[in-house]
Amino acid sequence: MAPMYKLTYFNVMARVEPIRFLLSYGNIEFEDIRIAQENWSKIRPSTPFGKLPVFEFDDFKTNQSLAICRYVAKRVELVGSNDIENLEIDAVVDTVSDMRAKTFVYTHERDSTKKENLKKALLEETLPYYLERFEPLAKSKGGYLAVGKLTWADIYFVATLESLCPSMGKNLIENCPTLQNLQKRILNLPGIKEWIAKRPVTAE
Amino acid sitting at position 116: E
Residues 155/25, Cβ–Cβ less than 8 Å: yes
User: Quick count: other Cβ atoms within 10 Å of Cβ 173?
Assistant: 22
**Contact between 56 and its own copies per CB under 8 A:** no
66 forms beta bridges with: none
**Contact between 34 and its own copies per CB under 8 A:** no
Answer positive or negative: Cα dihedral of 152, 144, 183, 137.
Answer: positive
**Contact between 71 and its own copies per CB under 8 A:** yes
**Contact between 139 and its own copies per CB under 8 A:** no
Q: List the one residue from 94, 124, 174, 194 that touches its own copies (CB under 8 A).
A: 94
Nearest CB to its own copies, comparing residues 87 and 121: 87
Please tell me whether residue 194 adopts helix, strand or coil conformation.
helix
Q: DSSP letter at 199?
A: S
**Contact between 74 and its own copies per CB under 8 A:** yes
Q: How far is the CB of 98 from its own copies (least distance, A)?
A: 8
> How far from each other are the two terminal CA atoms of the chain, in whole angstroms?
31
**Contact between 63 and its own copies per CB under 8 A:** yes
Q: List the one residue from 114, 133, 139, 184 that touches its own copies (CB under 8 A).
A: 133
Total of residues contacting its own copies (CB under 8 A): 27
**Contact between 4 and its own copies per CB under 8 A:** no
CA pair distance 113, 38, nearest whole angstrom: 28
Residues 52/9, Cβ–Cβ less than 8 Å: yes
Contacts to its own copies by CB under 8 A: 48-50, 60, 62-64, 66-68, 70-71, 74-75, 83-84, 86-88, 90-91, 93-95, 129-130, 133
